[in-house]
Copies of this chain bind each other. A is one copy, B any other.
Amino acid sequence: MQHLPSLPDAPLPGNRVQLGRDTKLKLDCGVELGPFPVAYCTYGALNEDRSNAVLVCHALTGDQYVAEEHPITGKPGWWELVVGPGKPLDTNRFFIICSNVLGGCLGTLGPTELNPETGMPYGLSFPVITIGDMVRAQAMLLDHLGIEQLFCVIGGSMGAMQVLEWASRYKDRVFAAIPIAGAARHTAQNIAFHEVGRQAIMADPDWHGGDYVSHGAIPRRGLGVARMTAHITYLSEAALHRKFGRSLQDRDMLSFGFDADFQVESYLRHQGSTFVDRFDANSYLYITRAMDYFDIAAEHGGSLPEAFEGTKSRFCIISFTSDWLFPTSENRAIVHALNAVAANVSFVEIQSDQGHDAFLLDVPELDKVLAGFINGCAERRGLGR
């Protein structure tokens, strides 16, 4: 069994904590981690009986900056529509936690962190991680914060995978669970799109077998292409059509060249190039791999209901009509499994033409569904109205 070397015990900026000092985190691949850093943000205050904590789980390229300015891009937090005073996750009532996932690149241990043995980033010597590993690292963070039970665990896309993993693995620690635009497994098409992105990164000579930092390089072009591909899958054709149609970019006529003639080309190039400034290529490889490996039924003898047997959590499953990456059918499969074990489950398919990204956007019905479910659960949990 491989054992990753410990990181130096230096003071860490912001909310960053070393976990796994005493009990290490045993990854699904067999490697043991500890101590290792986890970076996180919190909003609101923990109440006296520690019953109002909400864990927000971020998506593939998300981070812990849910409701505050992003330190690199300077943009607002990615879920300020949902988290804040008077919002469905009301920071006047709840204590909101979001941690950068294991394998990430914003403070939690991932392939960009320095290996103290070599003084260089881990790169591809970092172990392959799973959604289960991410969730167990989050559980260690909650232990550290003295939070026994979460009032709610919530997230969209890869965040929804973590929510399902939480509800399955820690049945006593989750009062309410809200997986949005998720799936209980990554489909063949999802794996295929991820594989294209990984191949684009690994094809970039600036990737240097994952060792780009020692070469003073960044695989900008490969990571940009990966992001462009993924970005198309996050939007619906209707959303792309409404946003761009066949409109030309800063010109009246076709250029008869390979510049960005169409606005949609220019938009995608921009998405690709700005992404490179805030995200690490190896992290992208590791996190997409974790999503591909996710198949919660497989861990339970192929039975999805088995994964939730005995749950007492309240579930609200949410999907969007135009989401073709994590379609309603995949979300309905979760509902069926929960029904099969007589779980307390609501299911809402929200009409939206914005595609998978709808969970991040201003969709009034999402706001209403979240507020209603969260308020109802809060009352049940004795947190008032």
**A residues neighboring B (CB under 8 Å):** 28-30, 124, 127-128, 185-189, 191-193, 195-196, 198-200, 202-205, 221-222, 224-225, 228-229, 232, 235, 237, 240-241, 243-246, 254, 256-258, 260-262, 264-265, 268-269, 272, 285, 289, 292-293, 295, 298, 324
Number of this chain's copies in the assembly equals 2
User: Which residue from chain B places its CB closest to the CB of A288 in the assembled complex?
Assistant: B258
Distance A68 CA – B257 CA, assembled complex (angstroms): 35
Some 17 contacts from A to B, beta carbons below 8 A apart, are A124-B258, A127-B256, A187-B237, A187-B241, A189-B237, A191-B246, A192-B232, A195-B265, A195-B269, A196-B225, A199-B221, A199-B269, A199-B272, A200-B203, A261-B292, A261-B293, A262-B292
Given contacts A195-B268, A199-B228, A258-B202, contact A189 B241 (CB under 8 A): yes
Given contacts A186-B246, A191-B264, contact A200 B202 (CB under 8 A): no
CB proximity of A209 to chain B, nearest CB, Å: 11
Q: Are A264 and B188 in contact (CB under 8 A)?
A: yes
Contact of A258 among B28, B196, B198, B200 (CB under 8 A): B198
Contact of A245 among B28, B188, B292 (CB under 8 A): B188
Q: Are A196 and B229 in contact (CB under 8 A)?
A: yes
Distance A185 CA – B262 CA, assembled complex (angstroms): 13
Q: Are B189 and A240 in contact (CB under 8 A)?
A: yes
Residues of B within 8 A of A295 (CB): 246
Residues of B within 8 A of A185 (CB): 246
Distance A195 CA – B245 CA, assembled complex (angstroms): 15
Residues of B within 8 A of A128 (CB): 256-258
With a 10 A CB-CB cut-off, give which of A28, A203, A228 has the most chain B CB atoms.
A203
CB proximity of A21 to chain B, nearest CB, Å: 25
User: Which residue from chain B places its CB closest to the CB of A243 in the assembled complex?
Assistant: B188
